[in-house]
A = this chain, B = another copy of it.
Amino acid sequence: MGERDAGARRARAAIPDATIARLPVYHRALAAIADRGVATVSSDALAAAAGVGPAQLRKDLSLLGSYGTRGVGYDVEHLLGQIGHELGLTQEWPVVVVGVGNLGHALAHYGGFAGRGFRLAGLVDVDPAQVGTTVAGTRVRPVAELGRLVAEEQAAIAIIATPAAAAQQVCEVLVGAGIRSILNFAPVVLGVPDEVDVRQVDVANELSILAFHEQRRHPLVEAVHS
């Protein structure tokens, strides 16, 4: 990630990565609170809904600006808008999904795209047997059309849902087509140029981390060595 010129144009100081990673959580918690018709939340209540501490929440929000009222709390709708704006969810992001296996299907049917600022803009697969079929109302296109698809849809974000073996190659095609943000479900570390942003979702890794802690609690019978 680039992030040069800290403070250009007297801009608010850069928001820490850790905070950014929590903003979507706050956004969703707020949306749920708004749905219940609540107009105002305290940092305590919102923090509880988001699963963080109140101090953390206040600190995070204070980095975006002073959107609360002392003695009262935060206006739900207003804060929702501010966080949404900060996250770039005021526009709708077209997302291209590559790989129409089980996971690709799940993603294509995923209801969380719409309504959260994202739209399935296209499905792509390398497998000729998949190409031309329709999944969740969207036609599956060949990789050869990726460049055109990205250009037509002005897509900036792509999801890789291919097997591990195909991921790096697909990644290179995506980058070549102009994609600069990638969500990678394939269990490989993608090599990308500096200006491309990759986030990794890896089920086996997550399970391993859980297994580590689980093992700490219930170690297998193991000699207290020496």
Contact = CB atoms under 8 A, between A and B. Distances in A.
Given A88-B211, A180-B217, A183-B207, A202 B103 contact: no
B106 A208 contact: no
* Interface size, A (range): 35 or more
A24 B103 contact: no
A197 interface: yes
A98 to B, nearest CB: 15
Interface in A1-38: 1-3, 9, 20-21, 23-25, 27-29
Given A87-B208, A93-B211, A106-B105, A189 B118 contact: no
Interface string A187-226: 1010000010101011111111111111111101000100
B214 A110 contact: no
Given A112-B203, A203-B201, A208-B27, A213 B103 contact: no
B25 A189 contact: yes
A215 to B, nearest CB: 3
B206 A183 contact: yes
A91 interface: yes
A86 interface: yes
A211 B89 contact: yes
Contacts of A23: 208, 212
A102 interface: yes
Interface in A93-136: 93, 95, 101-103, 105-107, 109-110, 112-113, 116-118
Given A1-B213, A102-B109, A182-B210, 18 more contacts: A2-B217, A24-B202, A28-B205, A88-B211, A101-B106, A102-B106, A102-B110, A103-B106, A107-B203, A116-B204, A116-B208, A118-B207, A156-B214, A156-B218, A157-B210, A180-B214, A181-B214, A199-B209
